[in-house]
Amino acid sequence: MIFFIIMLISSASLAGAFYYCFITAGKTKKQILLGVTLPDQVLEREDIREIAKGYKRKINRCMGILLLIGIPVHAAMAGYVSVFFIIYMVWAVLLYWLPYQILKKEHNRMYRLKCENHWTVGETRTIYIDTAASSLAGRYPLSSIHFLISALLCLLPVYISDSISEFFQEEMAGVIFATSLFTKLALFLCYSFFAKGKNKAFSHDTKINQKCSRLKRNIMGSCMVILSYLDSISFVIMEWGMGKEQYTSHFNERILLFCFVQLIEICFLISCFVYYEKRKREILKADKTPILVDEDEYWNGMYYNNPEDKRVFVADRVFESNLTFNMGHPAGKLIVYGITVFTVVSMVWLSVALLRMDFVPYTMDIREESVKFTAGGYNLEVPLEKIEKVTLLSGLPDKRLSKTNGGATDGYLLGKFRMEDVGSCYMYVYRKYPVIIQVDTEERVIFFNTKEEEKTRELYERLCEAVGEE
Amino acid sequence: MIIRLENKTDVPIYVQLRNQIVMGIGKGELKTGEALPTVRQLAQDIGVNTMTVNKTYQILKLEGYIEIDRRKGATVCAVREATAEFKEKLEGELELLSAQACLKGYEKEEFLKLCADMFDRMNAASLSSQEQGQGFGGLVF
């Protein structure tokens, strides 16, 4: 149930974020509409307004249909994990890809209209720099040392645990710990980007440029530092007491508290962005001598492609507060294609792995000198001489179980686990079928069953015979 | 000071940058003692390699317009006496400009007036930023 609620909140946030990004692309900001820079005097033209209106209508319709499709997608959570994962991935990709195609089409239409009418805004292929604003770069109200302190905070649960090895034997401990450190790194990179990233000259008035530069560093820099601490708190909540007996008590409350702090982080981040944009708009509104540079030729096709620009990361002009890559830079191309290939390969690999776990039946092949257990991705061969004991159980022992590597769903337990008082064990267990064979070896314990009780009993008897037990 | 660089001309960026900074100092937009952005930051803002900005700063240093200190970075120098080498360079450039103006039909008075107007626009940075009371927000560079 908790997983269902978490997925629902995640999906709602994802759909909300995408909808906000795409719908705001249809509003004029800094003379940019649908990613095209237009002169002030043409913004009220009938054909321009018609394109913008049509775009918003199409986005609303598309997102509405995708949300309706989302209902059966989330209902699939009740079935196989692999099926849900594949359907959900396809849905999530469509949630971005379909509105993006609409945006791209309308952007091209608007750009064609601009070229046909020879509309330009300001100068082209010109760079403006304000030396006074640039000189302010790197000065922050909060030092970058805070990222180190917040990273050290994540080490606290490891420090108070009984032993480091027991801490990392806990289910997901390694993943949670690595994620917390990775988040710190990502926030530090964002902090550096705001500190040392490009300073745009908005105006011929130096004071305006300095104000904007200070605002960006003060608001966004402090935001990243505070987010880093909040993030540490949420991970400490998750990791506190790991490797200790009482860790599993109040686990659900712990997850809810973790989600709550994460939600505060998201709200805080959005508030900072909104405040920053609002203040910047107010400052620029008072500007009497704005600098206007038409960069549309570098943004044709909705992505930035400027071989003369040595920057790899650039601020996205369509989705504000977002970063994008310069496709005119070899590193930018490499990162974009690399991420795409890595994501596709990971998704395909994960889908195949989950499908195998869900649908490949568990088998026990008793041979002359060994017994081989096979299941989706988790095969194990044990020499008969190493088997110490074979027992037929009428259910799994009522002991604390933590997953090391494998799958644990409502339907099955598969892979490497650790069981209280037992230690390392291999599971090939369908949860709904209580008749289970327990195989004790020198190194580990193996639990195995099939979906047919008779077959499980028969395998038990054959294994006893092979091992030489009565 | 606002620097304006064009990507559409054949003039290299480091030359454009050098000319813009010299004109900025000449017009008084950059005061004596005022700090210039770091090489890395300026390169980031323009979108060029740090070597390009470094080249500009080295030329400006050699010409005596700026000084580079490891702690303070690049700062605008006080006005210095023109060297014989500079005089020779100035004469060469004026000779070429005079020839071009003459060939395009400019009268001597017209050409001299243009030169005088241009010269009047300059407000050589003889006063330091502190003396003029127009420092950059009280920042210590």
CA B84 to chain centre: 19
Q: Taking a contact as any Cβ pair under 8 Å apart, which residues of chain A between 272 and 291 contact chain B?
A: 291
Closest approach of B30 to chain A, Cα-based (Å): 9
Do A127 and B141 lie within an 8 Å CB cutoff?
no
Return the half-sphere exposure (C-beta side, CA atoms, 13 A cut-off) of residue A12.
7
B25 and B58 within one domain: yes
In residues, how long is chain A? 470
Domain membership of residue B141 (yes or no) is no
B110 and B73 within one domain: no
- Averaged pLDDT of chain A: 88
What percentage of chain B reaches a pLDDT higher than 90?
51
Q: Is the pLDDT of residue A124 over 90?
A: no
Q: Is the pTM of this model over 0.90?
A: no
Structural domains counted in chain B? 2
Rounded to whole angstroms, the Cα distance separating A384 from A126 reads 78
Residues 6+ apart with CB under 8 A from B51: none
B95 and B45 within one domain: no
Q: Which one-letter amino acid corresponds to residue A65?
A: I
Closest approach of A135 to chain B, Cα-based (Å): 4
Predicted-assembly ipTM surpassing the 0.90 threshold: no
Do B38 and A137 lie within an 8 Å CB cutoff?
yes
Q: What is the DSSP string of B68-98?
A: EETTTEEEEPPP-PPPHHHHHHHHHHHHHHH
In terms of C-beta density within 10 A (0-12 exposed, 13-18 middle, 19 or more buried), how is residue A259 classed? middle
Structural domains present in chain A: 363-467 (2.30.29)
Q: Is the pLDDT of residue A436 over 80?
A: yes
Do B2 and A136 lie within an 8 Å CB cutoff?
no
B88 and B37 within one domain: no
Give me the mean pLDDT over the B102-108 stretch.
93
Domain membership of residue B1 (yes or no) is no
Do A134 and B7 lie within an 8 Å CB cutoff?
no
Q: For residue B37, give its domain range.
A: 13-80+122-132
Domain membership of residue B47 (yes or no) is yes
B111 and B92 within one domain: yes
Return the half-sphere exposure (C-beta side, CA atoms, 13 A cut-off) of residue B112.
3
User: Which residues of chain B form beta strands (DSSP E)?
Assistant: 2-6, 66-69, 73-76
Judging contacts by C-beta atoms under 8 Å, the chain B residues touching residue A206 are 1-2
Q: Is the pLDDT of residue A267 over 70?
A: yes
What H or E segment, with its residue span, contains residue A161? Answer: none
- The residue with greater pLDDT, B134 or A318, is A318
Nearest residue of A to residue B75, measured between CA atoms: A135
DSSP A29: B
DSSP A37: E
pLDDT band, residue B139 (cuts 50/70/90): very low
Which of A7-21, A24-38, B119-133 is predicted least confidently?
A: B119-133
Query: Which pLDDT score is estimated for A67?
Result: 94
Domain membership of residue B51 (yes or no) is yes
Domain membership of residue B56 (yes or no) is yes
Q: Is the pLDDT of residue A253 over 90?
A: no
B106 and B46 within one domain: no
Query: Which pLDDT score is estimated for A423?
Result: 83
Best mutation target among A128, A135, A309 (most B Cβ atoms within 10 Å) is A135
Residue with tokens 């000065």: A139
Are B29 and A204 a contacting pair, CB within 8 Å?
A: no
What percentage of chain A reaches a pLDDT higher than 70?
94
Residues 6+ apart with CB under 8 A from A207: none
Judging contacts by C-beta atoms under 8 Å, the chain A residues touching residue B24 are 131
B112 and B75 within one domain: no
Closest approach of B15 to chain A, Cα-based (Å): 14
Query: Which pLDDT score is estimated for B20?
Result: 95
Query: Which pLDDT score is estimated for B138?
Result: 30
pLDDT band, residue A424 (cuts 50/70/90): confident
B91 and B25 within one domain: no
- How open is the CA angle A267-A268-A270, to the nearest 5 degrees? 65
- A400 token code pair: 């604390």
Q: Which residue in B1, B46, B49 is closest to A132 by CB distance?
A: B1
Domain membership of residue B24 (yes or no) is yes
Residue with tokens 């292929």: A125
B47 and B75 within one domain: yes
Query: Which pLDDT score is estimated for A103?
Result: 94
Beta bridge partners of A416: A405, A426
B76 and B17 within one domain: yes
Domain membership of residue B139 (yes or no) is no
- Residues of chain B with a CB closer than 8 angstroms to some CB in chain A: 1-8, 24, 30, 35-38, 40-49, 136-137, 139, 141
- Helix A221-239 × helix A173-196 angle, to 10°: 170
Domain membership of residue B49 (yes or no) is yes
B95 and B39 within one domain: no
B90 and B50 within one domain: no
- Averaged pLDDT of chain B: 84
What H or E segment, with its residue span, contains residue A350? Answer: helix A330-359
In terms of C-beta density within 10 A (0-12 exposed, 13-18 middle, 19 or more buried), how is residue A264 classed? middle
Task: Measure the CA dihedral A404/A407/A413/A415, to 10°.
Answer: -50
Candidate ranges A181-190, A303-312, A399-408, B78-87; pick with highest mean pLDDT = A181-190
